[in-house]
Structure 1
Amino acid sequence: MVSFENPEMFWLIIPALIAGLYLLKKGTKKGLIISRIIVAILLITALASPFILVASVTSDDNPNIVIISDETESMEIFSNGSATDLYEALTAKTPTSIVRLTGDSTALGDAIIQYSTGDNQIVLVSDGNSNTGEDVETALQFAKEMGTTVYYVQPEVQYNDISVEIEGDKTVVRNNENQFNIIVTQAMDQEIKYTYSLYSDDTLISSRTITQTERTKTIPITQVKFSTLGAHTLRAEINPLSYDYDPINNEFYKAIYAIPKPKIRTIGLDVNSPLADILLNLYDVSRTGELANIDSRKAIIIDNTHANTFSESEVEEMKSFLNDGKGIVVVGGDSSYNFGDYLNSSIEEILPVRSEPTDWTGGRSIVLILDLSGSLGGGDVAVNESKSDMETHTISEVLSMANSIIDNEDLRDSDMAVVSFTDYVNDTSNGFVTLSNENDREKLMDTVSRLTAQLTDKSHLDDALSLAEEELNQKGGQSLVLIISDGGIGSDIYEDSVDIASRMHDNGVNFIFVHVYSTQNYQKDDDGNYYAELFISSIGQDTGYYHTEKDTFTVNIDFGTADEEQPDFEEDTDLGEFPLIELNSKHFITKNIDIEGSVTGYNDVTPKAGADRLIITSTGKPILTTWRYGLGRVAAVTTDNGLGGDNMWATELYSGNNSKLISSTVNWAIGNPVEESGAVVEAADTWYGTPTTIELTMYDEGIPTLKLDGETLDLSLTGTNVYEAVIEPEPIGMHDLSGYPVAVNYALEYRNMGLNEDMAALITANGGSIYTSVTEARSSIFEEAQDNSEKLVKESVSQKIYFLLAALIIFLGEVTIRRIKEIKEMKQQEKEIKPEI
C-alpha cells in the first residue's frame, strides 16, 4: 500500500485541473493539454513523496545485553556475585554492560524504562521487589513496546529474614471493637518459630508463639478498643526463635486516632431488632424518623419502610445528601422493596436494585483460559474446520476473539477472570472483574490486548485449570470455563488436565473449548486422536466443543436456561434456608469477613447495571448490593432486620461474625467518619526515608497552623480551605502532628524480603523468560537472546522515481509524437511546392 510523506501537496492538483480545463475550453490541442495535465498530476504526486513499507527480518548474532543488577540493601540475604558471574560469561560472547542499583531503595521500573532502547535486551538480576519510582508492570509493558526483551534471573536466597507489619484502620471510633491483622513475612519457604507481642499504648494486649511454614502469615487480632479520644499507638514486636538475618524489620508502629461515634439518622428502625442493637451500640443514632436537619449526619439507615412514606421533596433531599458525599443503607422486609411498592418509584432511583423478580440465577462466573504457549507462540493459527486446508490468523486475532468475548453484551451480568498459560500460569485479570462496569471491562480488554505468545516446550493447561477451579470455588451461581487453545496438550499434561476438568464438570462447571488449529503443532496420541478432542470427550457430553467461525473469528456463548423456581412470597415467606455466599471478597465491606449461615427469606430484586453484588443466596438472589450515586454511596440489604414480622428472615445475618457485615456496610456508607468541623488533619503513616503528604481542612475560620514535633510546617493552599504539606519525619517511631499521630517504620526496602512471587508472571506476560538460577542463565540466555534478536523491520522505500519516470515518459512521448507529426507535415509541404522538372 502506497503512503505519502507530504499529502498536503495534492492540493496543487486543484489549480492544475482548473488551468487545464480553461485551456481545453480555449485551445484546440486537446491531446497536448490532457498530456500536460497528466504530467502535472504525476509531478505533484512525486512532490507528495510516495513510499511503501517493505518488511524484512533482521537478526543479530551478537545482541546487545544490559544486565541490571539489584544490589540494594535487601539483596544482602542472597548469594553475592550472581550478576558479576553472569556478566563475565556473557561479555565473552556478546557486547554486555552491567548497571548496578545500590542504596536503601529499589527502583526497578525506572531502571527498566531507562535502559529499554529497542536495540538491546535486558537481564534483570533481582529479588523483584520494587519500592519506589515507576511501577514494574508499566515498565515491562514499555520495554515490550520498545522491542526490548526483559529476562529475569532469580538469585539464590542464602539467609532467611522475618518482617512484621500491622494492617488495619487508622481512624477508629472510641469504645468500638476493631480488628487488626499482624502480617509476618519470611524470605524463604521453611518452618520458622517466633513469639509476637502486640502493645496498645505500651500495654501488652496479645502475645503468642507461632510456628509458620508459609511465606506470609496473617494473625487476626480482634476486639481491640480505645477508650479515649485522640492519638494512640499500636506496636507489634516479633522475637524470632529461628534464624533471622536482620532485626531491623522486627518492630512495627501503627498510629491510631480515635474519634467520637459518627452521627447517623434512622427511619423506621425497630428498636427491638438485632439491627438496632448494632446501630445503637456503634453509632450516635438519631431516631426522629424525619429527613429534616440531616446535614450533620454521616448516613441514613432506612429500615423496612414503604415507598409511600417518602414524598418527592424528601427523595430530592436524599439525593442532595448523597451528592454531598454521604451514604444511605436501605434494609428490607415485608414492607419494602417488592413488598413496599418500590418498583418505578422515586426512592428506587437512588437504589442499586430494581424491585422486581430477577431471572438472573446469580453469580455467573466465567474463567477465560488463554493458551499463549507452544505453537501459538509462532504467531500463526489456523481457523477452518478442514484440517487439510486451513486459513491462518495471527495471535493478535486470537486475543481479539478473547476481547470480543469480554465485550459480549450478553455477558454484562457476569464476572470474568482471565488466566493465561505457557509453562507458567498468569492470573492476568488478578481475580474476577465485573463486566457490567465499563471501566473495568475496558481495562481488562486492554490488558488482554497486551499479551504475547511464548515459544515454550510445555503448556501447563493443568495448572491453569487448577487456578480456575480455585477461583470458581470462591464464587456462586453458574460457572463456565472457556478455553482458547490450539490443543497442544502434551501427554504428560493431558491426564492431569482431564482429572481436574472432570472434577470441575462434576461440580457443575460448564466448559467451552475453542480449538484454533495450529499450522505448526498437532498434538495426538498413539492412535492419532487429537488431545484437544480427547480432552473434551473425556469431560462429558454436556461440555461445549467449538471451532471458531472462519470469517468472523468469534465464538457464541450460551449459558442455557436455568430451571430455578421463583419463590412466591405472597403465598409463603417461610421457604426453608438459603445459604449465603460471599460473591465479592475484595470489597471494603467484605474483605475481612467470612460469611456463614443462611436466611429464610428475602426481597426479590434485580441488580441494576453497574451495581456491585457482594452477598447472594445459593440460588443467586441478591442480599447485599452496593453502588455509587453521585459522590455518595448506597447499599441495599434485601433481607430483614433480623426480627421481622410474622417471619424472621435473617437472624443468622446479625449473629456472631456475620454481624460485622452490617457495621462494615454502614461504615462504607459513612465513608469519612471524621466530623466536618474545626480543623481536620489527615496523614498516612510512612516508612523511614519515604515522604508522606498531610492534608489540613479548615471547616471554621482561623489561621491554618500545623506543628510536627513542635516545629511549624509550611502549608500550601491546594483547594477551598484545604492545605497540604510534605513531611519526612525522623527517626523511626511515633511523631506528633498538632495532636494527630504519624508513625514512621523501618525503610520500605526491608518490608518484602525474598523473591517476589508475582515477578515471574509479569515477565512472561510481557514476552520475557525466567531463569531460576545463574547457572541456568549462563548456559541458555545467550542463545535465547540471539533468537529474540530476530525482528521484523519495516523500512520505507520511496516510490517517487516511478512517478517521475512516468511523467518523463509521457512528456517525451508527447514531444516525440508531436515532432514526428511536424516532420511528416514538413515533408508533405515540400512535396507540394517542389517544381516539376
Structure 2
Amino acid sequence: MNIALESPEMLLLIIPVLVAGFYLLRKTKTKLVEWRILVALLLVLALAAPYTTVTRTISEEDPSLVLVQDQTASMGIFPEETGTDLYKALTAGTPTTLVQLTGEKTSLGDAVTQYSGLGNQIVLVTDGNSNSGKDLSDALKFAKDADTPVYFVQPELKTNDLSVEMLGDKTVVVNNQNEFEIVVRQASEQSTSYFIEIFVDGKLSQSRQFTQEGRNNTIPINQAFTTLGAHNMSVKITPSGEDLNAVNNEFFKSVYVIPKPKLTLVTGETGSPLARVLSNLYEVSVVNGYPGAGNLTDSKVLVLDNQFIDTFSEAEIKEIKNYVSNGGGLIVVGGDRAYNYGNYLNSSLEEILPVLSKPSEFKGGRNLVLVLDVSPSTAAHGTQGDILSNAIKILENKNLKDANVGVIAFGNAAYDVSNGFVFMGLPQNLAILEEKIKTLTPTNQTETSLDQGLDITKQMLEGKDGELDAIIISDGGIEDSYDQSLQTAQTLKDMGVKLYFIHIRSSAPSQTDKTRTFYAEKLMQELGLENNYDPLDIGGRTNIIFEETAEPPEEGEENKSEDLGTYPLLEYSPENFIMKGVNLTNASITGYNQVTPKAGAERLAITVTGQPVLTTWRFGLGRVAAFTTDNGEGEGTLWASALYNGSNSKLISGMTNWAIGNPQAEEGAVVDAPDTWLNTPSDLTLIMYDEGVPQLKLDGAQLDLALTGRNTYEASVNPDKIGIHDISGYPLAVNYPLEYLEVGLNKDIESLILATGGKTYTEKEARALLLKDARQNSERESNDPVSLKVYVLLAALVLYLGEILVRRIREMRKLKQAQGETGTGEAGA
C-alpha cells in the first residue's frame, strides 16, 4: 500500500514538538512526557493528511453516450437519418446526449475534446473531414488519455459530389515554366466523367474531357508568364453525372510574377549543365574567382562550384560568412576540387557548411516495415506488451540509424501507424514512432488479419531501392488468414523483401508445447526462411542482426567514374520543401564527395549506400546547401549528368529556390498574402524597404495596418465574395468555403480511431453492436483516494486515553497502598 500526504509541509511542526519534548524530558525525566510527545507527533501527522489510493472496478449498465452528429454543409451527400435513427436506438437503451454540428465549418476535434472525460463515451457520425478548430488526431489522443472511448459510425453515401482545387506557388518568376497541379476529388469510388476548362487571366488556355476512376485525380499543367505583376488562373469542371454541390466546381488561383532573382556563380566551367540550368531560371552573374563583397550584396544566392579552399583568402571567407549570416543563401557544389578533395576539413569555410569533409559514419539504404499484431488474443494471452517492446527494441538498433521505417498494425483490419516511411536518422522521428507504438491497443473484434498487414507492407515497399525488410511480431494466432498471408508473403519474398517472424509465445499450453508446429513457424518453413523465425517466451527480447548494406567505395575511388558503376539516389525527406515534386526514381550518379552531416543538418537525398548528396541547414539568417556531387560536367568525369536533365533538374531548382528563401527583391514595398477560402481570413504582411507611408487598399477600401516589427506591418483580410481581389496591385484569390473541399468519407479517420483504441462501424453494425461495446468499455478501474487522517487521530486519542488510564490506575494503586499502610499502623497502636 502506497501512502502519500496532502500537506507534507505540516511535517515541519515536528521540529518544535521534538525541541519542546527534549527540553521537558531533561527537566522532568518522566514517562508522561514521552507519551505526550508521541501523541503530539501523531497530531502533526494528522495535520499532514496522510492518504492512500484504492483501485476499484466501475461498471455501468447504462453508460453515458454523447452522439456527435455532423450536419455541416458537406454532409448533404449522406442520409440525415443515419445520425437521428441511431440516436433514437441508443437513447432507448442508455442515456445519450445528441450534439449536432452545423454550418460551413466542421470542428470535430473541438467536439471530441469538449465531451471527453466525466465518464462519457463519444459516438461520431460524420464523414471525418475536420477543417476547423483543434486537430482531430490530437483530440483523439486527449480522449484516450481521459479514458473516453470514441466510436466512428460511417454513413452510407447516397449521392456523389465533386470538388476541384489548383495547387502551386503564388510567387513565380517571369518567363519560367511553372508547374501547377489540378486536383479533382469525388465522394464515391465509381467512374465519373467531367469536362475541365483552365483559364489564364480570364482567357481559356486549355480544355478536355476526363474520366476518373478513383477518389482523387491529379492533373499537372505548366504555365509561364511573360509580364510582371498580378495574374490569375482558374479551373472549372462540368460533371456529366451526379454532383450535389456546384459551388466547389470552380477554383481561383492568384499569381504574382517577379523578376528573376539574382545569383552569383563561381565556377571554372561556364558551360556546365549546372550553369545552363541556373541561367535558364535566374539572373546569373558568372565569375571565375571571388566576386567581391559589393557584388554579393545584390545577389540572393552565392554558388561555389567545385572550388579549392585556397581559391579564397581568410578575409574573403569571412565576408561569405557575414553574407550568409545576414540572410544570403549559399550552395556549395562538389567535384574533384571540393570537400574531401578541396581541403575543406577543419577550414573556415567548413564552419558555414552543414557537413564535415570526411567519410560518413553510417551507411543507409534500408527500408524496413514492422508488422505488429494488435488482435484481442495478444491482450488475452498477455503478449501485447512484449510485441510492442520488441518493436521499440528493433527501432533502437544502431544499424537502423539511416533506415526508413514504417509501422503497420493488424487485428481485425490493418492500418498504417507511421503514415508512410519515417527516416530514423533524426532523433525526433525515432521518438515520435516509439510514442505511436506505445499507444497501440488491441482491437475488440476477434479476427487476426495478417494478410491485410502484409498487403499494406507490399504497397509500401513497391518501387523502393536498397535493402528491403519486413518483420512480423505476433502471438502466432494467424490460422484464420494463413493461406492469404502465405500468398502475400511469397510475393514479398519474390520482390526481394527479407521477411522475419518474431513469435511471442504465451504461457498457454498450446503455446508452450514445443513438440507441435505453430502456424508462424509453418509460414516461415513454407517460405524457406526457417532461419528468420524467432520464437520467444514472454519476457524474451529479439536479437535480429541486420545484414550490412552495400559498402561505399574506398576513399580515392570516387573520382574514377568509369570504375564506379552507378549509385541510385533515395529521397530521405520527401515532405521537405526542396523534395516536393522531385522524383528520384530514375536518378543515379557515378561519383560523390565523402562527407558527414553535422548535428542539426538535414539529409534530403542520399545514395543507396547511405552517402549524403544533398544536405541543408540554417546558418544565422541564411540557408546553406551542400550538394556533394558535381556540376554534371566535372571536366569529363560526369558524376551527376543525369541530375541536370528532364524532371531530375527539379532537384537543382528546388535546392536553389530554398536557398533563395524570399525571391522578391528587397526594395520598395513588398506584400505577401496567401490565397484563402470564403469566411477564412488571410494574414497579410507588408514590408517597407524604402521610406514612405505604408498604405494598402483592398478593392479600393483602405486597410488598417498594425506595425509588428521593423518596417513590417500586418493586417487580416476577409473578403466576402468568391473570386480575385486586388490589394493595391497584389492579387488575392478567395474560393468556396473550405467545408466543400474534401468530399466523401475521410479514409484516414478509421486508422486514427483504431490507433487510439476506438472502433468503427457501419450504420447497421452500430445499431447491433455499439451499445454492447459501450457497456463493455464502461468497465474501468478507478483510483480513489482514501484518507488515513481519522485513523491517525484515533491512534492519538487511544494513546492519550491509554496514558490517562494507566496513570489513573497507578494513582489508585498508590492510594490503596497508602490506605493499607495507614490501617496497619492504627491496628498496631
User: Do 1:372 and 1:422's aligned partners in 2 also have CA atoms closer than 8 Å?
Assistant: yes
Could you say which residue in structure 2 is the equivalent of 1:267?
266
Q: Determine the C-alpha separation between the residues in 2 that align with 1:737 and 1:528.
A: 77
Which residue of 2 is the match for residue 504 of structure 1? 492
Instruction: Please give the alpha-carbon distance, in whole angstroms, between the structure 1 residues aligned to 2:332 and 2:140.
Output: 45
1:478 correspondence with 2:467: yes
2:328 to 323, 326, 329: 326
Amino acid of the residue matched to residue 580 of structure 1?
Answer: P
Q: Secondary structure at the match of 1:61?
A: coil
Question: What secondary structure, in the 3-state scheme, does the structure 2 residue paired with 1:674 have?
Answer: coil
Match of 1:531 in 2: 519
Normalised TM-score (structure 1)? 0.92
Q: Which residue of 2 aligns with 1:17?
A: 18
Indicate the RMSD between aligned Cα atoms, in angstroms. 2.7
Asked if the contact 1:600–1:648 (Cα under 8 Å) also holds between the matched residues in 2, the reply is yes
Distance 1:347-1:536 versus aligned 2 partners, 3 A rule: farther
- Are 2:223 and 1:234 equivalent residues in the alignment? no
Cα deviations across residues 232-275 of structure 1 (Å, max 9, x unaligned)? 11111112233322222111111000001111122225211011
Q: 2:341 is matched with which residue?
A: 339
How far is the alpha carbon of 1:549 from its aligned partner? 8.0
Q: Which moved more, 1:361-370 or 1:780-789?
A: 361-370
Q: Note if contact 1:375-1:521 (Cα within 8 Å) is conserved in structure 2.
A: no
Tell me the residue number matched to 2:350: 348
Task: Provide the secondary structure at the position in 2 that maps to 1:574.
Answer: helix
Q: Distance in 1 between matches of 2:509 and 2:299?
A: 66
SS at match of 1:381: coil
Q: Which residue of 2 aligns with 1:195?
A: 195
SS at match of 1:319: helix
- 1:240–1:535: structure 2 CA closer, same or farther, 3 Å change rule? same
1:509 is displaced (CA, Å) by 3.8
Q: Give the alignment partner of residue 564 of structure 1, picking from 543, 551, 554.
A: 551
Distance in 2 (alpha carbons) for counterparts of 1:556 and 1:758: 34
* 1:543 pairs with one of 529, 532, 543: 532
| 1:391 aligned partner | none
- Superimposed CA distance per residue, residues 170-223 of structure 1 (whole angstroms, 9 cap, x where no aligned partner): 11000011111110111100111122121211233332222210100111113x
SS in 1 for 2:483: helix
For residue 651 of structure 1, report the CA deviation from its aligned partner: 1.6
Query: Is contact 1:381-1:517 (8 Å) kept?
Result: no
Counterpart of 1:386 in structure 2 is none
**1:525 to 1:557, Cα distance in 2 relative to 1, 3 A:** closer
Change (3 A) 1:104 1:678: same
The alpha-carbon distance between structure 1 residues 133 and 572, as it changes in their structure 2 partners (threshold 3 A), is closer
Residues in 2 aligned to 1:15 and 1:48: alpha-carbon distance in whole angstroms? 15
**What secondary structure does 2:692 align onto?**
coil
SS in 2 for 1:742: strand
TM (norm. structure 2) is 0.93
Alignment partner, residue 180 of structure 2: 180
Which has the higher mean CA deviation after the structures are superposed, 604-613 or 741-750? 604-613
Name the SS for the 1:601 alignment partner. coil
CA deviation after TM superposition for structure 1 residue 56, in Å: 1.0
Q: Which moved more, 1:507-516 or 1:141-150?
A: 507-516
In the alignment, what sits opposite 2:316?
314
The residue that corresponds to 1:495 in the other structure is 483
Is residue 2:693 matched to residue 1:703? yes
Residue 730 (structure 1) shift: 2.8
**Distance verdict in 2 for CA 1:116–1:643, change over 3 Å:** same
| Structure 1 residues 428 and 737: alpha-carbon distance in aligned structure 2, compared to 1, 3 A threshold | same
- Counterpart position of 1:598: 588
Is the deviation greater in 404-413 or in 314-323? Answer: 404-413
| Deviation of 1:673 (Å) | 0.8
Change (3 A) 1:272 1:661: same
Q: Which residue of 2 aligns with 1:299?
A: 301
1:310/1:347 contact within 8 Å kept: no
1:807 and 1:516 mapped to 2: Cα distance?
A: 54
Q: Give the paired residue count.
A: 818
Structure-1 residue corresponding to 2:633: 643
Letter in 1 for 2:785: S
2:505–2:538 CA contact under 8 A, matched in 1: no
Conservation of the 8 A alpha-carbon contact between 1:2 and 1:52: yes
- CA separation of 1:359 and 1:11: change in aligned 2, threshold 3 A: closer
Give yes or no for the alignment of 1:442 onto 2:443: no
In 2, are the aligned partners of 1:487 and 1:522 still within 8 Å (CA)?
Answer: no
| Aligned with 1:790 (options 779, 784, 788) | 779
Give the corresponding residue for 1:390. none
User: Is 1:38 aligned to residue 38 of structure 2?
Assistant: yes
Pairing 1:44-63 to 2, within 5 Å after superposition = 44-63=44-63
User: 2:382: which partner in 1?
Assistant: 381
Within 1, Cα distance between the matches of 2:349 and 2:33? Answer: 78
CA distance in 2 between counterparts of 1:526 and 1:185 reads 54
Q: What runs of 5+ residues in structure 1 fail to find an aligned partner?
A: 383-393
Which of 415, 423, 427 aligns to 2:416? It is 427
2:57 aligns to what SS in structure 1? strand
Corresponding residue number in structure 2 for 1:142 = 142
Q: Is the 8 A contact 2:328 2:623 kept in 1?
A: yes
> Is the counterpart of residue 726 in structure 1 residue 716 in structure 2?
yes
- 3-state SS of paired residue (1:356): coil
Pick aligned residue for 2:662 from 672, 678, 688 = 672
- Give the stretch that moved more between structures: 89-98 or 212-221: 89-98
> In the alignment, is the contact (CA less than 8 A) between 1:549 and 1:555 conserved in 2?
no
Structure 2 gaps, min length 5: none
Q: Who is 1:388 aligned against?
A: none
How far the C-alpha of 1:698 sits from its partner, in A, is 1.3
Residue identity opposite 1:793 in structure 2: S
Asked if 2 retains the 8 angstrom alpha-carbon contact of 1:364 and 1:414, the reply is yes
- The percentage of aligned residue pairs carrying the same residue is 47
Equivalent residue runs for 1:770-809 within 5 Å = 770-772=760-762, 774-809=763-798
- Give CA-to-partner distance per residue, 1:452-496, whole Å, 9 cap, x none: 33222123232223323333345443344344433332x232233
- CA displacement at 1:155 relative to structure 2: 0.8
Q: SS of the residue aligned with 1:176?
A: coil
Q: Secondary structure in 2 aligned to 1:575? A: helix
**Compared CA separation, residues 549 and 85, structure 1 to 2 (3 A):** closer
Q: Is the 8 A contact 2:506 2:537 kept in 1?
A: no
Whole-angstrom distance in 2 between the partners of 1:349 and 1:364: 30
Question: Is 1:613–2:603 an aligned residue pair?
Answer: yes
| Correspondence 1:154-173 to 2 at 5 A | 154-173=154-173
| Corresponding position of 1:588 | 577
The code of the aligned residue for 1:376 comes to T
Instruction: Report the CA distance between 1:750 and its aligned residue.
Output: 1.2
1:253 alignment partner AA: F
Q: Summarize deviations over 1:540-596 as a string: whole Å, max 9, x none.
A: 14526263784xx76555434446362454583322431423323322222212222
1:468 maps to 2:468: no
**What's the CA shift string for 1:80-116, capped at 9, x where partnerless?**
3111111121222111222222222222222222222
Paired with 2:393 and 2:608, the residues of 1 have a C-alpha distance of 30
How far residue 804 of structure 1 moved from its aligned partner, in angstroms, is 2.3
Q: Are 2:201 and 2:231, in contact at CA under 8 Å, matched by a contact in 1?
A: yes
Cα 1:412/1:361, change in 2 over 3 Å: closer
Query: CA offset at residue 501 of structure 1?
Result: 3.5
Shift of 1:755: 0.7
Query: Are the aligned partners of 2:570 and 2:608 in contact in 1 as well (CA < 8 Å)?
Result: no
Give, as a single letter, the amino acid of the residue that structure 2 aligns with 1:301: V
TM-fit CA distance, 1:276: 0.5
Please give the alpha-carbon distance, in whole angstroms, between the structure 2 residues aligned to 1:122 and 1:525.
43
Asked whether the equivalents of residues 201 and 233 of structure 2 are also in contact (C-alpha less than 8 Å), the reply is yes
8 Å CA contact 2:197, 2:237 repeated in 1: yes
Alpha-carbon offset, residue 733 of structure 1:
0.9
2:235 paired with 1:248:
no
Contact 1:580 1:615 in 2 (8 A): no
Q: Of residues 676, 687, 691 in structure 1, which corresponds to 2:681?
A: 691
SS in 2 for 1:234: strand
CA gap 1:588/1:339 in 2 versus in 1, 3 angstroms:
same
Cα deviation code 1:300-344 (max 9, x no counterpart): 111011122233343343333333343221111111122112223
Moved more, 101-110 or 285-294: 285-294
Q: Which stretch of the first structure deviates more once superposed, 164-173 or 17-26?
A: 17-26
User: Any idea what SS the aligned residue of 1:657 has?
Assistant: helix
Matches within 5 A, 1:78-157: 78-157=78-157
The corresponding residue for 1:747 is 737
**SS of residue matched to 2:297:** coil
